[in-house]
């Protein structure tokens, strides 16, 4: 099983519950899990993070190996399938939703998941087939038969354990 992280999982972790100085164990877990072949992300997510001007941007720059390339033939072909699917749904969505979706990392994350057996997309976006303002990762994943879950489910599945050690 490989868990592919969406940008929002890392951004929310840094901003809310696993601040980089408050819970360094989370960030160590990400890197250790990556080293074990269990956690990764994609270059497009890394690029989004690096555009920031904060400690997460620096972290992403220093941990470039976490971000898998999307230039391979299989991912490119899968991206074409994702793009065709969302384009077929455009009439139901608000104007600009297609361009917004295709201009970000989300379709590439889904495409990469389509090429990796036993992959799970990790996102904080919610499954909602009634959503019309934007394309949702879980909605698109469902169409392609891909699994998705949030950070907390992944931590449970991998039995992550952040322990405070008294010094």
Taken in order 58, 52, 27, 24, the sign of the CA dihedral is positive
Residue 98: alpha-carbon gap to chain centroid: 19
Helix (H, G, I), strand (E, B) or coil at 138: helix
Domains contained in the chain, CATH given: 2-157 (3.40.50.1010)
Average pLDDT of the chain?
A: 92
Q: How far apart are CA 13 and CA 39, in angstroms?
A: 15
What is the DSSP code string of 58-107? HHHHHTGGGEE---SHHHHHHHHHHHHHHHHTGGGS-TTHHHHHHTSSHH
φ, ψ (nearest 5 deg) of residue 20: -65, -30
Instruction: Say which range, 10-24, 37-51, 71-85, 91-105, has the weakest mean pLDDT.
Output: 91-105
pLDDT in tens, 155-164: 999 999 988 8
Q: How far apart are CA 29 and CA 35, in angstroms?
A: 10
pLDDT in tens, 8-53: 999 999 999 999 999 999 999 999 999 999 999 999 999 999 999 9
H or E, element range at 119: strand 119-122
Q: How far apart are CA 6 and CA 107, in angstroms?
A: 11
Write the CB contacts of 50 (distance below 8 Å, at least 6 apart in sequence): 57, 60, 61
Q: How far apart are CA 140 and CA 131, in angstroms?
A: 12
The alpha carbon torsion through 136, 142, 147, 148 (nearest 10 deg) reads: 20
**Predicted confidence band of residue 129 (pLDDT cuts 50, 70, 90):** low
């Amino acid at each position: 099983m490989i868990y592919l992280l969406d940008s929002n999982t890392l951004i929310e972790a840094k901003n809310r519950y696993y601040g980089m100085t408050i819970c360094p164990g989370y960030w160590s877990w990400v890197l250790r899990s990556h080293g074990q072949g269990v956690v990764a992300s994609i270059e497009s997510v890394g690029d989004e993070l690096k555009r920031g001007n904060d400690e997460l941007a620096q972290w992403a720059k220093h941990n470039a190996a976490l971000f898998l390339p999307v230039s391979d033939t299989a991912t490119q072909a899968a991206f074409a399938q994702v793009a065709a699917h969302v384009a077929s749904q455009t009439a139901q969505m608000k104007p600009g939703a297609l361009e917004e979706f295709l201009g970000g990392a989300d379709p590439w994350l889904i495409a990469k998941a389509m090429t990796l057996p036993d992959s799970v997309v990790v996102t904080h976006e919610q499954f909602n087939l009634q959503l019309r303002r934007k394309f949702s990762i879980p909605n698109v994943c469902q169409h392609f038969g891909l699994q998705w879950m949030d950070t907390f489910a992944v931590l449970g599945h991998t039995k992550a354990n952040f322990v405070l050690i008294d010094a």
